[in-house]
Amino acid sequence: MCKCNCSDSNIDLNLLKPVLDKYSNVKGSLITILQNAQEIYGYLPTEVIYEVASATGNTPAKVMGVATFYTQFRFKPVGKYLIMLCQGTACHVNGSEMIAQTINEELGISDGETTDDGLFTLSCVACLGCCSLSPVMMINDETYGSLTPKKVREIIAELKSRS
């Protein structure tokens, strides 16, 4: 198992074992392993990077290099609701800055931050590919388009009421 002096001591590396058993000897599977690990833990803890490196015969630096190259990978936990706010051209022109400001006012977070209660994380992204719905955001797997500050406040209130 992990031989590093990591700080994420509550990480159960046994959860990763089936993924490593399946892919660690498959050439070119590092991204797949990292994707599966992130699905298991919600992000890529330091211990997981070291464990993947050990199991695949790579250095931790190589694994981290691959993981940091792709924007899909996260290195700190995200909230229950991951808000991905589009900043593409259509969304920008149609008011994504105003939507970001509304999220900031409602939740007290900016891009890359998570609320103190761990419910919401805001991630501003380059494009969600939903230009006809601009401005648009995704919260987990649900897409919300034609946003206005009022609509954003209603969406956030609804999600808070579920928690």
Query: Each residue of 52-74: pLDDT tens digit?
Result: 999 999 999 999 999 999 888 99
Q: Please state which of the four CATH numbers 1.10.10.1590, 1.10.287.540, 3.40.50.9100, 3.40.50.300 is assigned to the domain occupying 13-69.
A: 1.10.10.1590
Burial 48-86 (b: 16+ CB within 10 A, else e): bbbbbbbbbebeeeebbebbeeeeebbeeebbbbbbbbb
Give the residue among 119, 81, 83 at the shortest CA–CA distance from 102: 83
Overall residue count recorded for the chain in this entry: 163
Domain extents for the chain?
13-69, 81-162
Domain 81-162 in CATH 3.50.40.10:
no
Query: Each residue of 90-135: pLDDT tens digit?
Result: 999 999 999 999 999 999 999 999 999 999 999 999 999 999 999 9
Query: Each residue of 76-91: pLDDT tens digit?
Result: 999 999 999 999 999 9
